[in-house]
Amino acid sequence: MQAVAKIKAGPGLNLIDALIPKPKANELLLKIKACSICGTDVHIYNWENPWDSKIKPPMIIGHEGFGEVVEIGKAVRGWEIGDYASPESHFHCGKCDMCLSGHANVCRNMLGLGMGGANGTYAEYVVVPTKSALKTDKKISPEVGTLQEPFGNAVYTVDEGHVKDKTVAVFGMGPIGIMAIAAAKALGAEMVVGVGGSSIHKELAKKMGADIVIDRKNEAVIERIMEETDNKGIDVFLEMSGAESAIMQGFEAVKKGGSVVLLGLPTKQITIDWSKYLVLKDLAIKGVYGRKIWDTWQLSSELITSGKVDLAKLITHRYKLSEFEKGFEVMKSGNCGKVVMFPK
């Protein structure tokens, strides 16, 4: 089969010929119908920290994907050939204290699909443990199916913000931030503000439901938010960028007694005025990682199948898997929404 792999330490990826994997007793073999590029994959391509220590070449990468079950392990029950499946990219053990207490997304023995420990979705076939595969409604198209994994990050973040009837600001309008805008509107937010920089992301944010889009490069972000909220500030601050400036602005913009949900990963330590922004504002602060398994996936699927969120609007580029270099170039440019690839 064709696959895209990190075959040695250092920048770059290669298109390789690889053996089609065989599923073990509790695994499914999926024929990949679509896969998509995440910012993490760009970091892996560039061989940047921390991925230069997590990835052990050679390894097929990719953690966003959607496929059809074509072979079933001998111990598998409840699955049939022809079922559609979306892989949960965090392969949890199901046995540790985190898994047993409902926190499988932070399993102590986690294996990362295409990110460390398990070959990924940038291939014609991939094996997935049944406990890490979600049976997917066949009315979801492959190109939308592959977006369920990143959409889950957005949905988990929004859901933890309890956004119904509240004013919400999303700082960071990359694809997951834009997905968060759509999810917040679908889950009943009264007003959703998107804060970002690039023109294509501002356009996509409006298309996906943002009530107000603020250009962080050319507008006074805090002043504009206060103007739009009658000088009260926002109820919920969703941090999707990991950028220090966005984090500081978000804490400034959220009102006293408000909520903060953090998904973005800063590349360095950040100093914050603990008294001013955390204690004296009486904020509720939650960090999120990945998706709740399987609560977030079920909510995400409902938002898609009900038509409340149309993720297809976010796809701006489509390539064959063999054209992966084109996909990564457009991702590096930042001039895109989601980039989807299709095996031959």
Instruction: Say whether pLDDT at 258 is over 90.
Output: yes
Say what the pLDDT of residue 268 is. Answer: 87
Instruction: Say whether pLDDT at 267 is over 90.
Output: no
Q: Stretch 162-172: mean pLDDT, rounded?
A: 98
Segment 27-41, tens digit of pLDDT: 999 999 999 999 999
Say what the pLDDT of residue 2 is. Answer: 98
Do residues 281 and 257 lie in contact, with contact meaning Cβ atoms separated by under 8 Å?
Answer: yes
Counting residues of the chain whose pLDDT is more than 70, the rounded percentage is 100
Say what the pLDDT of residue 50 is. Answer: 86
**23: confidence class by pLDDT, cuts 50, 70, 90:** very high
Do β-strands 167-171 and 90-91 pair in parallel, antiparallel, or remain unpaired? unpaired
Instruction: Say whether pLDDT at 211 is over 90.
Output: yes
Q: Stretch 220-249: mean pLDDT, rounded?
A: 97
Segment 56-69, tens digit of pLDDT: 999 999 999 999 99
Q: Stretch 174-192: mean pLDDT, rounded?
A: 98
Instruction: Say whether pLDDT at 254 is over 90.
Output: yes
Q: Is 63 a catalytic residue?
A: no
Catalytic residue among 43, 103, 162, 316: 43
Say what the pLDDT of residue 49 is. Answer: 84
What mean pLDDT value characterizes the chain? 97
Q: What structural domains does the chain harbor?
A: 2-146+310-342 (3.90.180.10), 153-287 (3.40.50.720)
Say what the pLDDT of residue 28 is. Answer: 98
Q: Give the total residue count for the chain.
A: 344
Q: Stretch 270-288: mean pLDDT, rounded?
A: 96
Say what the pLDDT of residue 314 is. Answer: 98
Q: Is 92 a catalytic residue?
A: no
Say what the pLDDT of residue 180 is. Answer: 98
* Tokens coding 5: 């792999």
Say what the pLDDT of residue 117 is. Answer: 87
For the CA atoms of 303, 304, 306, 312, the dihedral, rounded to the nearest 10 degrees, stands at: 130
Catalytic residue among 40, 130, 146, 167: 40
Say what the pLDDT of residue 344 is. Answer: 79
State the pTM of this model: 0.96
Q: Which helix (H) or strand (E) holds 248?
A: helix 244-253
Segment 191-205, tens digit of pLDDT: 999 999 899 999 999
How far apart (Å, rounded) are the C-alpha atoms in residues 239 and 232?
19
How far apart (Å, rounded) are the C-alpha atoms in residues 127 and 189?
38
132 Cβ contact list (under 8 Å, min separation 6) = 87, 88, 90, 91, 92, 113, 293
Q: Stretch 4-27: mean pLDDT, rounded?
A: 98
Say what the pLDDT of residue 164 is. Answer: 98
Say what the pLDDT of residue 320 is. Answer: 98
